[in-house]
Amino acid sequence: MLICHSAGMVLRQPPLTQDAWTVEINKMRNAFGAPLPADQAEALAKYLRSINGQSPNGPSAVDGQGS
């Protein structure tokens, strides 16, 4: 993750669902050549959702506003 972007840049992104993070990760891989194997995209999306994400029903527990 930090090969392409700083941690600060990642954390300044709007909270996304895991599916939306997966779309963004695959865009970075396919359009911009991000050096992440395809089999790791889902795990990274799950991690990003856990630190800066939104559940399908609203904000995540990380921000204290949801479950």
Token pair 């865009």 is at which residue? 27
Token pair 């527990």 is at which residue? 61
* Helix (H/G/I), strand (E/B), else coil: 5: coil
The per-residue pLDDT for range 22-41, each reduced to its tens digit, is 999 999 999 999 999 999 99
- Give the rounded percent of residues in the chain with a pLDDT score beyond 90: 46
Query: Partners of 54 in the beta sheet?
Result: 59
Is 45 in contact with 18 (CB distance < 8 Å)?
A: yes
pTM of the model: 0.71
